[in-house]
Amino acid sequence: MKSDGDKVRKYLQYGLTGIAMVMGLSACGDNNDLSLSQNSIVYCSEGSPESFNPQTITSGTTIDATTNQLYDRLISFNPNDNSIAPGIAKSWHVTRDGKMITFYLRKDVHFHQTEYFTPTRTLNADDVIFSFNRILDTEHFYYPVSGGQYPFFQSVEFDQVVEQIEKINDYTIRFKLNHSDSSFLSNLATDFAVILSKEYAQKLALENHKRNIDIYPIGTGPYKLKEYHAGSLIRFYPHDKYWQGQVAIKQLIFDITPSNTGRLTKLLTNECDVIAYPIAHKKIGERSDLILEAETSFNIGYLGFNTQKPPFDNVLVRKAVAHAINKQAILDAVYFGQADIAKSIIPKASWAYDDSISDQEYSIPWAKSLLVQAGYKNGFTMDIWAMPVQRAYNPNALTMAKLIQVDLQKIGITANIVSYEWATFLRRVAQGEHQSVLLGWSADHPDPDNFFTPLLSCSSTITGSNRAFWCNQKFDELIQAALATNNINQRKKYYAKALAIVAEEVPLFPIAHSKRYQARNNRVKGKILNSFGGINFSKVSKK
């Protein structure tokens, strides 16, 4: 027994020495530690990207993680006045009939060099043509990769617009259009129209790993992908040959934190430098080292009815529900008064906004009588699908769903709230499994068409961004007509008529137009939020 005791004492000694060594060593390394965090930015994002190629998706989470970080576009929006600014194309020329557009490319644009690809040449016309032909040409060797879905381009009927893309020389290309389209340049400037590397694509095709083009991205943007763990993190390294000059930090990390409170906690404990969609604005305001930012963004939060499924195939039922919901209460409880009531899908800041459209008045007796007319005297049971993540247009869909649940109870409708993990949720909603869904839309560019076509046109019922699955021939004709002309007054008239149809048919119930919020530690400098599309880390630095 005595020897045992000695042994124990000996182990204890070893253990204590070990601990002391660890403490001592870690104490002297503090300087290095500081430099590591000084050169890195941790951004707490709200979800995992579905893909690393924005051509194939529509979700804002994916755009945030990809477009401005990994890629460049031919043209982009000037963040100050939302005019169109040069990107990879240093200049462009549009013929008078609007059917031929020539782009002149930069010559010094390098692609990423990573562990999985080393480029041998700089960007040229082949890469641009490859990137667009992948979307346009159904026979293209990359078209079916990753499912052959290009939802944004399909919803604006890009293939109907573009007749052909010509290579004039290595640094000049020309788009030939079938007809003039007033939103064409805006569409090219959106976050979806990124330029990929043809050389990389050919290499992958040889290795028979075509799918990797959307999983291990190669672009020309300010950062390159280092590693990605779904549900956990994305690590970016700077692109040292970025044509606008290398960024000021050594590492950009997306810390994927779906929980709202989790993100706020990490901001408060300095585990994150910047967080997406902060809650509890008051709490952030109390801390002098934190900054809350807001950017007006073109968006709409709505309750969409699945018009293909009973009972919402009946317009009376849709109207009854619309009249039963107390919008003002939602604005107070969910947006904390930081949003505008939405009367239609178009926000006030857009030139297509029509003041004459009136709101669905909150009136329980009216709603009840509509329900009786529709033949649902005793009400019914329905599902409300509430999106699980926070977006600018809807900071808390679950709370919103609960409020609507209470409202609907008053007219005898029992609502069940359904929710899934974000990627699953989007997939199921796109398949039309829902009865009604709380969702929203953020515009990708300032043209109002970006609200009409993706949200409510017949073509987008197929691509899945029209979650109401509502298809109205007259409405479609109006928005087509609006696109065919460049005369703003003419377009305004068409859009006003289209909005009137929507107000009459109620395929969705507009709720609010909101700002997009972001919070950061004041050590992080540089603009990150834009009015349109995703966030941009190319200008950030850390003090």
Partner 1 sequence: MLLFSLRRLNLLLFTILLLTLLSFSLSYLFPGDPLINITGRVLATPEQLEVLRQQYAFDQSVIEQYWSYLVHIANGDLGVSMSSHIAISTEVLSVMPATIELTITALIIAMFFGVPIGFIAAIKHKKTTDNIILAVAMLGYSIPVFWLGLLAILVFSIQLGWLPSAGQISLLYEIKYVTGIQLFDIMLSDSEYKWQAFQDASSHIILPACVIALAPATIFVRIARTAMMEVLESSYIRAANSKGLTFKQIIYRHAIRNASVKVVRHIGLQFANLVTIAMVTEMIFNWPGIGRWLIESIYQRDYTAIQGGLLILSSFIFIVHIITDFIYAALNPIARDTHYGS
Partner 2 sequence: MARDKIYQEEEFPSPLLQLWHNFRQNPVVMIGFGCFIFLVVLAIFSPLLTPYSPIESHLDSLLLPPAWSDDGNISFLLGTDNLGRDILSRIMSGASLTFGISFIVVIISMFIGVVIGSISALTKGIKSSFLNHFLDVILSIPSLLLAIIIVAILGPGLENTLWAIVMVLIPQFVHITRNAVTEEFAKDYVLASKLDGAGSMRLLIYSIFPNIIEKIISQATLAQSAAILDIAALGFLGLGAPIPLPEWGAMLKNGIDLFYIAPWTVYMPGLAILFAVVATNLVGEGMRHALKLRKES
Binding residues (CB under 8 A) for partner 2: these are 259-261, 264, 268, 279-280, 282-283, 326, 329, 332-333, 396, 398-399, 401-403, 405-406, 416-417
**354 closest CA partner among 362, 341, 363, 345:** 345
- Residue 291 CB, shortest distance to partner 2, in Å, is 17
Q: Of partner 1, partner 2, none, which one does residue 273 interact with (CB within 5 to 8 Å by kind)?
A: none
Q: Of partner 2, partner 1, none, which one does residue 282 interact with (CB within 5 to 8 Å by kind)?
A: partner 2
- Residue 262 CB, shortest distance to partner 1, in Å, is 6
∠ CA 226-229-234, nearest 5°, is 45
What tokens appear for 139 in the block?
A: 């026979």
369 sits in the region (left: phi over 0; alpha: psi -120 to 50; else beta) called alpha
Q: Of partner 2, partner 1, none, which one does residue 32 interact with (CB within 5 to 8 Å by kind)?
A: partner 1
Cβ nearer to partner 2, comparing 372 with 418:
418
Cβ nearer to partner 1, comparing 15 with 375:
15
Q: Of partner 2, partner 1, none, which one does residue 492 interact with (CB within 5 to 8 Å by kind)?
A: none
The gap from C-alpha 485 to its chain's centroid, in whole angstroms, comes to 28
- Residue 336 CB, shortest distance to partner 2, in Å, is 9
Cβ nearer to partner 1, comparing 381 with 424:
424
Report the interhelical angle of 473-484 vs 449-456 (nearest 10°): 150
- Residue 339 CB, shortest distance to partner 2, in Å, is 16
Cβ nearer to partner 2, comparing 17 with 261:
261
Q: Of partner 2, partner 1, none, which one does residue 396 interact with (CB within 5 to 8 Å by kind)?
A: partner 2
- Residue 292 CB, shortest distance to partner 1, in Å, is 17
Burial profile 354-383: b = 16 or more Cβ within 10 angstroms, e = fewer: beebeebebeeebbbebbeebebeebbebb
Instruction: For residue 514, give the 3-state DSSP assignment.
Output: strand
Output Rg (C-alpha) for the chain, integer angstroms.
26
Contacts of residue 123, defined as CB under 8 A and 6 or more positions apart, other chains included, come to 88, 105, 106, 109, 110, 111, 195, 197, 220
- Residue 225 CB, shortest distance to partner 1, in Å, is 13
Q: Of partner 2, partner 1, none, which one does residue 114 interact with (CB within 5 to 8 Å by kind)?
A: none
Q: Of partner 1, partner 2, none, which one does residue 333 interact with (CB within 5 to 8 Å by kind)?
A: partner 2
Cβ nearer to partner 1, comparing 233 with 329:
233
- Residue 261 CB, shortest distance to partner 2, in Å, is 5
The answer to whether the beta carbons of residues 50 and 57 sit under 8 Å apart is yes
- List strand residue ranges (DSSP E) for 410-506, in order: 414-418, 436-442
Cβ nearer to partner 1, comparing 40 with 314:
40
Q: Which residues are at the interface with partner 1 (CB under 8 A)?
A: 1, 22, 25-26, 29-30, 32-33, 36-37, 40, 42, 226-227, 230-233, 235, 251, 253, 255, 257, 259, 262, 265-266, 268-269, 271, 420-421, 423-424
The rounded distance, in Å, linking the Cα atoms of 463 and 471 is 13
- Residue 233 CB, shortest distance to partner 1, in Å, is 5
Cβ nearer to partner 2, comparing 241 with 281:
281
- Residue 25 CB, shortest distance to partner 1, in Å, is 5
Cβ nearer to partner 2, comparing 84 with 417:
417
**388 closest CA partner among 427, 436, 342, 438:** 438
Cβ nearer to partner 2, comparing 403 with 506:
403
Cβ nearer to partner 1, comparing 4 with 355:
4
Query: Amino acid identity of 208?
Result: N
- Residue 187 CB, shortest distance to partner 2, in Å, is 37
Is 199 buried (19+), middle (13-18) or exposed (0-12) by CB count in 10 A?
A: buried
Query: Amino acid identity of 520?
Result: R
The rounded distance, in Å, linking the Cα atoms of 383 and 312 is 11
C-beta atoms surrounding 291 within 10 Å: 15
Q: Render 50-109 in DSSP notation, one character per residue.
A: S-S-GGG---HHHHHHSHHHH--BSEEE-TTT--EEESSEEEEEE-TTS-EEEEEE-S-P
